[in-house]
């Protein structure tokens, strides 16, 4: 699978498994209701759990009609780009540091990217594990070897700049 093919599939509302800056993700367009519904169904994910959205720049937040105040912007600049997902309003966003992923996001637009595993199981560390989990239910698998990393740290950012850690640790 070439990345160009994966990008075409994602732009058409498809769903696939590919590496993020942390672990393999089950990815789809953040603006495709069909892709988002498929991801919840494929992962057997609780509908109340939100999906993390990968963005290519802070400017992408405008696509979600978010207004960022100076305190919030200061916090975003502190953690991004990097492996910290930040809840703004109702959605968790991450601006990855991985340049190749940023280039993909510039072409596809923001992508929802929960971990590549059915809810309750450990994230796939390679494409072989992802294929066992998802088989023919996804449109593509884009391999990048074995990824033995942790999911992103997840924090919630309040309008007053207050940070609450929801998962992981902040350095």
Under DSSP, is residue 29 helix (H, G, I), strand (E, B) or coil?
Answer: strand
Q: How many domains, in total, are found in the chain?
A: 1
On the question of pLDDT at 143 being above 90, the answer is no
Is 89's pLDDT higher than 90? no
pLDDT value of residue 145: 74
161 pLDDT above the threshold of 80: no
Q: Is the pLDDT of residue 149 over 80?
A: no
What is the per-residue pLDDT for 1? 67
Contact 113, 27 (CB under 8 A): yes
Can you tell me the mean pLDDT for 114-130?
95
Q: What is the arithmetic mean of pLDDT over 115-137? A: 95
CATH number at residue 99: 3.90.870.10
Share of the chain above pLDDT 70, in %: 99
């Amino acid at each position: 699978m070439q990345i160009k093919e994966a990008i075409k599939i994602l732009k058409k509302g498809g769903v696939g498994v590919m590496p993020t800056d942390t672990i393999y993700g089950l990815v789809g367009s953040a603006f495709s209701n069909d892709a988002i519904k498929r991801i919840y169904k494929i992962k057997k994910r609780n509908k109340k759990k939100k999906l993390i959205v990968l963005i290519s720049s802070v400017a992408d937040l405008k696509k979600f009609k978010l207004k960022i105040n100076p305190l919030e912007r200061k916090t975003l600049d502190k953690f991004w780009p990097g492996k910290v997902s930040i809840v703004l309003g109702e959605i968790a966003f991450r601006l990855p540091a991985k340049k190749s992923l940023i280039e993909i996001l510039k072409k596809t637009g923001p992508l929802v990217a929960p971990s590549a595993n059915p809810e309750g199981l450990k994230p796939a560390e390679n494409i072989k594990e992802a294929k066992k989990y998802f088989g023919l239910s996804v449109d593509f698998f884009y391999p990048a070897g074995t990824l033995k990393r942790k999911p992103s740290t997840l924090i919630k950012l309040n309008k007053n700049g207050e940070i609450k850690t929801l998962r992981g640790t902040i350095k």
